[in-house]
Each structure stands twice: as structure tokens, then as C-alpha cells.
Amino acid sequence: MSWIRAVALLCVSAFLFTGCGDDGGSDGGTTSDAATTDGGGGGADAGDRDAGDRDAGDMDAGGADAGTDAGGGFDAGDVCADLTLPALDVEDVTAPGGWDAPVFLTHAPGSSDLYVVEQPGRIRRVAPDGTVSEFLDVTSIVDYGGERGLLGLAFHPDYASNGRFFLYYTPNGSTSYGSHNHVGEFRRMDATHGDRTEVRSIVTIDDPEGNHNGGMIAFGGDGYLYAGFGDGGGAGDAHGSYGNGLNTDIILGKILRLDVDNEAGMFAAAGNPFAGGGGDARIWAYGLRNPWRFSFDRVTHDLYIGDVGQGTWEEIDFQPASSPGGENYGWRAYEGYEVFRASEVSRVTDHAEPITVYSHSSGCSVTGGYVYRGSAIAGLQGWYFFSDYCSGATRALKVCDGAAAGEQAVPALSGGNVSSFGEGPDGELYIVGFNFIRRIVGG
């Protein structure tokens, strides 16, 4: 991708949710040099706050097996014993002709391959020897532009035997003035290719604007598919009498928990917090502005959410695996820890506060990442990485007793427009940028 094209696409990419068409953010054309940017907490001390005043030990873990896929002999009791981050570096993962706006990287159960999602509508497969080939091309059904396009990919836990996978994309017919957010099911065609014919629709929701489209889908340790939806776009969650994020009758501004093996109740998973009424039965968490990237710790199954802010704060939210769901992350009453709209505060009776925030002096669009569970880098177990699309400033932290600990900048992993992170089958982590992919390695 040429430098000119990269700059031209900066304000129309899938990641600048706070600027370029919304009155509350930074202009992506004025990004800072992430290698020299601290990207710090903007004066907020996450260590002084807890994860929503909730005692996770009193809750049912829902059958999640914390010992699954541990990688590296992880001992949960030792995660906070050492907050020294080891030396780190990156190695480029290249493709012939370069990558075309990659937005995500993942792996399929039972496979050693990596899968790279490109926003225009292609998925490329990277074999262990580095060979890159096309897995799927759905450009004919995807509307690409601005924050629209092919945004997410999740393989069914039994993909090795059933060949099922799911895409989050913007269907054709969407525009910058209104779009559709869609999750659909697809099938494998052969060992190395997907079939472009959609098997069935899982979720479709009209978005009144063309931005804040969410885009993340991932299977949790409970076997259910989680899908993140933005608040519908526009500045300040402008639609509805009190916005969409706090309205539990609307799935915009939410994370859904879906049983894709059971069509009953529009795929609502059993045990969801509004299954008995009071909101859409598919909702798992609400009060979100644009949860562009979230992830599950493959060992503990805790949920980490990067929620893109409005004009002041970017935040990382945390939900322990023991949670019964129903967390209210506060938007549009709160942005980060601060009140955004006082008239809505009464609607947030139990604010699940973020575990960390940073101000727009350090970036403008948070990119949630992953907890490291690989074995190649000694001393890195349990560290969670996240970054910012505008500044490229990557940071790391651990969660200890529900609060962020040891948070620090990681200059060696910073730089470029970081659109996502990815996790390989071995637990090793990757940084995905608008025109690059980098593997995190020891320094």
C-alpha cells in the first residue's frame, strides 16, 4: 500500500471511531509518533479502582475450564507475583504484494494456520512455513468504505469436524449515512478454502449511521458466540430518547451472547441476563460505545473489552469468567470514569467501571488485544496488550484481584496504525496494522 493511499484511508478506515465524521475525536491525519508516545493514563490511576465492586469469588464460573489450553505451564496463583515485563521485539509477517487493510488475525481449532481478515472482503491463510494463500473472497457481498467492510471472523469450536465459521460484515447496500451490521454463518469448502455462500443469518441490525459498527465476534470458553455492536454512530450516542447504549431493548451498544447451535429465541444463549425479561434476551453486556475489539483469556476465560471513547477517554473493560452477565459499562452516562451526560446517570445503578483509561492526549481509538498465553517468551504469561489506532502506542498490564496492575508503555511494540491484535494456535500474539502484521517475540 502506498503512503498516499495509507493517508487517504486513515480517516475512512475501520478504526477511527472517534474522529472523521463525529464531533468528539481526534483527526486521524494528525497521528503522533508512537515510538516516543507514552500513551499513559492521562492522569487517571487505574490501580486505585476496582472492577465494579464485584466479588468474582461469589459467582458461578458457568462450567468454564480454567485449565484449558494453558500453554507454557501457567499457574494462576503466580500471575501477579512478578510485574516485570521482559524485553520484547517484533518480526514482520509478510505477504506477496503486501496486506490489503488487515483488520484481524486468528486461528482455526485443529489447525496450525493463521487467518488474516482484510477489510475489503478477503481472508488469507498463512501456513506454518509462511506461505500465504486465499481462504475466502466475499468482496461481492461486502460494502467496503469508512468503518464498513469485512470486520470479524470466528471459527466454531468444532470447526475441525463441522467446517463452520462466522463472519461479521457490512452487507452491500450500506452507506456512510446508514449501514447494516450482520453476522452470518459460512462453511468450509475444502481443507484450505471457505465457501462464499452464506448458510444462514445469525444477527442483522440496522445502524442509523455508517460508523460505530462494532465488528468483533469470538467464541467464549462456554462455547457460545459473543458479538460486539457499536451504539449506532453519530456523536454522543445521538439516537433514541436516551441513546442506544443504555437501552436494553436495542442491541446497539451491546455485546451479545449467542447459541449458534440452537436457533430458538433468535439464538439467545441460555442463562443470558435478560432471558426472563427486561431487555433483548441476546444481550450479555451493555452501556458500550463501540467495542471494536474484545478477547477472552484462553486460560481463565476472563473477558477484556476495548471500548472506543467519544472525545476524552479511551477505556479497557474487564469481566471475570465468573460473571453472570448484565454488566452496564455506562455509556452514554459515563465516558471512562467521568460523567458524560448527567441526565442519564440515574439509569446506571451499578457502573462496571473500566480497569484502565487513557486520554486523547495519547491517542483517539483504543484497540483491545489479548492476554499472552504462549510459551516462546519467558516471563510474559498473563500480560494483556492493547494499543491505539491513532498513536500506535502499545501498552501492557496484568489484572490482579480485578484491578489493573503493572501498566506500562511498550515502545518496542509501538508504531503504525494498530487496528487489531491476533492470537495464534500456540498462544503467541500478533499486532495487526492497516498495512502490516507483526509477531511479538522476545527482545
Nearest to 271 by CA among 220, 206, 202: 220
| pLDDT at 412 > cutoff 60 | yes
What is the predicted pLDDT for the residue at 366?
A: 98
- Residues with Cβ within 8 Å of residue 418, at least 6 apart in sequence: 367, 387, 388, 389, 392, 394, 431, 432, 433
What is the predicted pLDDT for the residue at 78?
A: 73
Model confidence band, residue 146 (pLDDT cutoffs 50, 70, 90): confident
Task: Please give the mean pLDDT across all residues of the chain.
Answer: 86
The string of DSSP letters for 315-371 reads EEEEE-TT--S--B--TTTEETTEES-GGGGGG-SSB---SEEEETTS-SSEE---B
Model confidence band, residue 347 (pLDDT cutoffs 50, 70, 90): very high
Least confident stretch, 82-91, 194-203, 210-219, 401-410: 210-219
Q: Pull the grid cell for residue 136.
A: 475466502
C-alpha 239/C-alpha 233 separation (Å) is 8
Length of the chain: 443
What is the predicted pLDDT for the residue at 122?
A: 99
| pLDDT at 196 > cutoff 80 | yes
Residues 88-117 have pLDDT tens digits of 999 999 999 999 999 999 999 999 999 999
Distance of CA 378 to the CA centre of its chain: 26
Domains of the chain from N-terminus onward: 3-442 (2.120.10.30)
| pLDDT at 237 > cutoff 60 | yes
What is the predicted pLDDT for the residue at 400?
A: 97
What is the predicted pLDDT for the residue at 177?
A: 64
What is the predicted pLDDT for the residue at 274?
A: 98
Q: What is the largest CA-CA distance in the chain?
A: 57
What is the predicted pLDDT for the residue at 49?
A: 32
Q: Are 246 and 279 in contact (CB under 8 A)?
A: no
What is the mean predicted confidence (pLDDT) over 401-418? 98
Say which residue, 70 or 151, is predicted with more confidence. 151
Say which residue, 10 or 301, is predicted with more confidence. 301
Which helix (H) or strand (E) segment is 301 a member of? none
The pTM of the whole model exceeds 0.75: yes
Model confidence band, residue 77 (pLDDT cutoffs 50, 70, 90): low
Model confidence band, residue 176 (pLDDT cutoffs 50, 70, 90): low
C-alpha 409/C-alpha 214 separation (Å) is 26
Residues 25-62 have pLDDT tens digits of 333 332 333 333 333 333 333 333 333 333 333 323 33
Residues 142-159 as b/e (b if ≥16 CB within 10 A, e otherwise) read bbbbbbbbbbbbbbbbeb
Beta strands 403-409; 395-400: pairing state: antiparallel
| Strands, E assignment, 217-285 | 217-219, 225-229, 254-258, 283-285
Q: What are phi and psi of 35, to 5 degrees?
A: -65, -20
